[in-house]
Structure 1
Amino acid sequence: MTDEGVQEAAGYFFSRPADTLRAIADAVGGAYAALFRGSIFNYLRPDDLVAAFRPITETLANATPLIAAGLGVALAFRVGLFNIGGRGQMLIAAAAAGYVGAYIPMPPVIHLIVALVVGIIGGALWGGLVGLLKARTGAHEVIVTIMLNYVAFYLVSYLLRTEGALQAPGQNNPKSGPMLETAVFPDLLGPQYNLNLGFILVVLATIYVWYLLNRSAMGFQFRAVGENPHAARVAGINVGSVYVKVMLIAGALVGLAGVYQVLGNFTGGFAAGLDAGIGFDAITVALLGRSKPWGVFFAGILFGALKAGSYTMQAAEGIPVDIVLVVQSFIVLFIAAPPLVRAIFRLPTPDSSFRWRVPSISRTKEAAR
């Protein structure tokens, strides 16, 4: 409807309707073709294989922090907790990893490992604080995570404005110093592609979460508490301990996304806005993935493809990049719609069905027969 060619052809629709239909097909087909070229394979550059295959690496690079943060949100979902504190957990992890990566020189391999571990620990502690408050005081995790997002943002902003903390020496901007080369994730396919070690880490994290939930005793406790915490408590499971453990692991996973934003994307410094909305996009990724590890993995790749291809859509077809936000919003709407429709029309849930009950006959009536 907003395409100029479609609008022009619609002006004489009744005289030549085929022109309007052709213009619509060109507009829609051109948009999806541009999305494909920007996210999977640029078939317009067959002579340059590096440029032709760069889109798929951009998709995987954009998907990496979404997958890591989505795993943290999904794991909390499986225990019945709503972790919307991804932004705070990312910022604390990024600040911890960024300080080690920028201001503490170490040997090459050790430096990267220490920065990675310190960042993950920072995210885990920030998430574990939510679980501790939930277990000890019964505080609602939604309120706690929202408030801790603000605490983390203003704390990191303060540190970035304080020389001697995170602010780069000799500058007034609220920005850290550049990461040392020994603390940056190495490239997987060379400097011509924007894909580094972070993607391998999120693949390993996905395998770990799958194993944790489906093959470990701790995962059984997580799933039991998520199904019914009261029944789990009666069965002897320490529900409070489960809340603390799951938020520690969830915070570590989300913290991995923050570490990637600092050590994976660039060698320069970072600012307080490095989360780039990933903490909230991770909720959509977890919902689309049905809170299952591999579902979250492929949902993150889908969202990474939408983000990578949106820039080509805007450049080639004039479609604004905001269309990605529209698509994400529709995804959440469609995921939430089935339970809403079932509640309004009193329909059965997918895991149950209508069963015709056999009329019970009382013993008195049987005796009378």
Structure 2
Amino acid sequence: MESPEKQYNSALRKGIKIFTADSAIIPIVAIILGLICGAIVMIAGGYNPLVAYGSLFGKLFESPYDMGETIRAITPLIFTGLSVAFAFRTGLFNIGAEGQFVMGMLGATLVGVKLDLPMIIHAPLAAIAGAVFGGIWAGIVGYLKAKRGVNEVISSIMLNWIGLYFANYVVGAALSEKGQQKSEMIHESASWSMTWLSEMMEHARMHAGTIVALLCVAVFYILLWKTKQGYELRAVGLNPDAAHYAGMNVGRTVVKSMFIAGAFAGLGGAFEVLGVFGYQVISAASPGYGFDGIAVSLLGGNSPIGILLAAILFGGLTYGSAGMSFEADVPTEIVRIVIGSIIFFIASHGIVRAVIKPFSFRKGKGADGRKEAPRT
């Protein structure tokens, strides 16, 4: 009989292998089907889909400014996609990346406005504050799950709105400019913007947070698959009872997992303040990056490289929709239809497999590529 450790390793390897096989085909087909659905909607509305899609993708490379702004739109989606995926990989559903993103903005704004320190200390401290605020906000969800058995989906959704209005209150009470619905500007020493790169890209709002996002992609992989902590996180996610039997502290691991997931989202919010706007607004609606991060995570198959590619796609579609609107006179809502269709097909594996089946059948093998059983 295999030891518990060997059983865990076998299960984890199988899980990774299954994911890799699915991710090779299903997301690509889902994207194609989503684009086709968008084209059908355009034709029904009297628009030319070829011109519309040409304008959309042309907008992304029209000028250095557009390329820079596309990268800026992609960056927060990487952070929130990693946040959702990290929790999912450890057996949790983090629907609260939106609230964690907003709390990350608040943490960065507090440090950026209230402290006046040398840049070498101030900028990293502001980013760390954003990560900690996002992590604590998600940690509340983990604590409620571990200690009180509260479903993390419900608590994280509720904390989205609590986080938004709490941030509005703090900004309005302690950080806002007189007569303004936004905070004071952060000190220059807390900024993560890269002036030289921005000037090179025709003053696009580029910032060093993009580099941090790419580093987080690597951290995601190394932490989950190359460390003892990652092994425990995944083991608890696969089977909490078996992990507890093996001597792992399940409750502490759940809180730890949610904290790390929230830290990813919090960093995304921090860099929106520190690298893009330089202030935080009092808003009745949240930015939306956390909700889009769920779609990015789904499309990316909850893998770090998949999330990076999915964020590039979603960010490109979102920014490129301006080209559809101005050059092809197509409403930007069409892009949301395309994105929604892609998510639908990603979630509907049966439909995608039905589309793939006629093209994947080979003599002597089934549609999934495996050898057929002998007929009797």
TM tier, shorter chain? 0.7 to 0.9
Output the CA distance in 1 between the equivalents of 2:79 and 2:169: 26
Q: Which structure has greater helix proportion? A: 2
2:53 corresponds to: 32
> Which among 173, 186, 197 is matched to residue 193 of structure 2?
186
1:293 is aligned to 304
Q: Which has the larger radius of gyration?
A: 1
Deviation at 1:222, TM superposition (A): 1.9
- Give the superposition deviation at 1:3: 7.2
Contact 2:164–2:286 at 8 Å: present in 1 too? Answer: no
Q: Where does residue 278 of structure 1 map in the other structure?
A: 289
Aligned pairs for 1:1-369 (under 5 A) are 27-39=48-60, 41-42=61-62, 52-162=63-173, 165-168=174-177, 170-171=178-179, 173-187=180-194, 189-191=197-199, 192-272=203-283, 275-338=286-349
Of stretches 211-220 and 246-255 in structure 1, the one that deviates more from structure 2 is 211-220
Contact 1:261 1:274 in 2 (8 A): no
State the 1:356 CA deviation: 5.1
Give the whole-Å Cα distance in 2 for the aligned partners of 1:151 and 1:313. Answer: 36
Alpha-carbon contact 2:82-2:220 (below 8 Å) kept: yes
Higher relative contact order (CA 8 A, sep 6+): 2
RMSD: 2.8
Q: Deviations over 1:207-238 (max 9, x none)?
A: 00011112111111222222222222223322
* C-alpha spacing 1:181/1:236, structure 2 compared with 1 (3 Å): same
Structure 1 stretches of 5 or more lacking a match?
8-23, 43-51, 343-349, 360-369
- Select between 188-197 and 124-133 the one with higher mean Cα deviation: 188-197
CA distance in 2, matches of 1:152, 1:57: 30
Provide, for residues 6-65 of structure 1, a one-character-per-residue CA deviation record: whole Å limited to 9, x for no partner: 96xxxxxxxxxxxxxxxx8xx2322122112211x22xxxxxxxxx33322222110100
State the secondary structure of the residue aligned to 2:294: helix
Q: Distance in 2 between matches of 1:322 and 1:167?
A: 33
Q: Deviations over 1:310-347 (max 9, x none)?
A: 101110001111122112211221011125899xxxxx
> Aligned partners of 1:202 and 1:262: how far apart in 2?
15
Kept in 1, the 8 Å contact 2:66–2:204? The answer is no
> What amino acid is aligned across from residue 324 of structure 1 in structure 2?
V
- Kindly state the Cα deviation for residue 277 of structure 1 after the two structures are TM-superposed: 0.7
Q: Which runs of 4+ in 1 moved over 6 A?
A: 1-4, 350-355
TM-score, normalised by the number of residues in structure 1:
0.80
CA 1:285–1:341: 2 relative to 1, 3 Å? closer
Structure 1 SS opposite 2:64: helix
* Pairs aligned (count): 320
AA aligned opposite 1:189: L
CA shift for structure 1 position 151: 1.5
In 2, Cα distance between equivalents of 1:183 and 1:233: 43
Deviation digits for residues 256-302 of structure 1 (CA, Å, limit 9, x no counterpart): 11101211112344333684111111000000011111111111111
1:118 deviates by: 1.1
Q: Is the 8 A contact 1:258 1:275 kept in 2?
A: no
* 3-state SS of 1:161 partner: helix
How high is the TM-score relative to the length of structure 2?
Answer: 0.78
Distance in 2 (CA, whole Å) between partners of 1:333 and 1:277 is 19
Residues 90 and 351 of structure 1: is their aligned pair in 2 closer, same or farther, counting only changes over 3 Å? farther
